[in-house]
Amino acid sequence: MASIEEIRSARLNKLNFLIKKGVNPYPTTAHQDITCKEAGIRFDELTGSKKNLSMVGRILSLRAQGKIIFFDFDDGTGRFQALLKKSEPLSSELYELFEEAFDIGDFVEVKGTFFLTKKNEKTILAEEIRMLSKSLLPLPEKWHGLQDIEERFRKRYLDLLSNPGIKERFVTRAKIIELVRQFYLNDGYIEVDLPNLQPLAGGATALPFKTHHNALDMDFYLPIAQELYLKELLAGGMSKVFEIGKRFRNEGIDTTHNPEFTMLESNEAYADAKSQREFIEELFKFVVEGLFGKLQFEYQGQEINLEPSFKVMPYPEVTDEEYKREIRPTLVQPTFLVDYPVSANPFAKRKEDNPNLIDRFQLVMGGLELVNAFSELNNSIDQRERYLEEDKKGKAGEKDISPSDLEYLEAMEYGMPPNGGIGIGIDRLVMLLTNVKNIKEVILFPTLKPRT
């Protein structure tokens, strides 16, 4: 079996052969009259018209049989089959050029008419064939697919080509985000854009990433959360706002954590944790039914059923590590955890009947923490005291804090309506609804340690 280096050398020779023949291996313009998907749908109409049409795509397989060559190609919408005949309607010169210089992995343009083979295969009979992009390395199929997990994440473009279902998973991810966005917009929320360069990393307790702006000679932080900006918008008169965007937390990497991740955050004036729980339950049912056509789906061998009302239970009175290790994995069906201690979040309101607890909930499903939400603190005096506690922790060496933000406190003092805030981990939601256990499987380009 030839080595990668030998294959690359052979393909470079083919590239030079094309150039010597006066063929541009990387032309600027491509002609596409119909996609592979459209050709499949309109096939009966196309075979009747006998009209020459151009199609484009990457060659994925080649089968030579005497003086004919079949090849499959993919344009991103689907696959289609092409047939080259040495005699007609393709010229013998183009046929021989294809034999000499075209390979699996090359992008081509094929023009011809449509017919059905004896095996009932929808096919385009080529009258013209043109190189669009000459590939120099072989696709993974030649090596029985891309098997190494780390290599799959590093070379996602090859993963998409060689592993069935990977592309579909990311199409599903886009559909999930579309459904979530649709539900929010239908409920009257406004989608907003918030800054990713921030003078303070606030809105959550996490270690941020720092960068520097040269012209201002000033350090900035990438967002660990956008909660404070959203609440400032409520103080400015907006009532329902949300953002879907990247968040960055300088933390460890494991099956449910990536330093760069996608989160939806929203705030609604005059809402509280209870009304937000109802909102979240409706949202999840909307997304699941929109995706599967029913309220049941499977995750890691267990059926999850969203039809009954979600269970509500108090956060267990154990240490955080024990909860994560012993209790969270058992919460398969949708469960709201409520009644957290005040120390758990510096921005949540205290419960009126027990000021030692905050009016907060998390949604756990399939053992995954998916949603964090609470009645937002709008008392600037209480917020200032909470900030002081956070600052003390920071001075004592704790890194995961939310430091005092004087500009945010000032906005609160102008008056902020009571409101409910929600944070939804989009990547974990996609994990749940595509039945995978590793967050890297639902992020196109996850954070990886560089090769040495």
Q: What pLDDT does 149 receive?
A: 85
Q: At what angle do helices 406-413 and 380-395 cross, to 10 degrees?
A: 170
Q: What is the DSSP letter of 254?
A: B
- CA–CA separation, 117 vs 94, rounded Å? 22
| Nearest alpha carbon to residue 32 among 120, 160, 132 | 132
3-state secondary structure 343-404: HHCCCECEECCEEEEEEEEEEEECCEEEEEEEEECCCHHHHHHHHHHHHHHHHCCCCCCCCC
38 marked ligand binding residue: no
Fold exhibited by the domain 4-138: OB fold (Dihydrolipoamide Acetyltransferase, E2P) (2.40.50)
Structure confidence at residue 144 (pLDDT):
53
Q: Where are the domains of the chain?
A: 4-138, 158-442
One CATH from 3.30.930.10, 3.55.40.20, 3.90.1170.50, 3.40.50.1820 for 158-442: 3.30.930.10
| Both structure tokens of 362 | 């998390």
112 vs 126: CA distance, rounded Å: 4
Series of mean pLDDT values for 10-residue runs along the chain (452 residues): 91 97 97 97 91 96 93 96 92 94 97 95 96 94 65 91 90 98 98 96 93 97 97 97 97 95 98 97 98 98 97 92 94 97 92 94 98 96 94 92 94 97 98 98 95 78
Q: What is the pTM of this model?
A: 0.93
- DSSP label of 208: P
Alpha-carbon span 174 to 262, nearest angstrom: 12
Report CA-CA distances (Å) from 186 to 10, 125, 179, 422, 426: 57, 48, 10, 17, 19
- For residue 314, what pLDDT is reported? 96
End-to-end CA distance of the chain: 28
Quote the strand ranges of 93-134, DSSP E.
107-116, 122-133
**Angular region, 47: left φ>0, alpha ψ -120 to 50, beta rest:** alpha
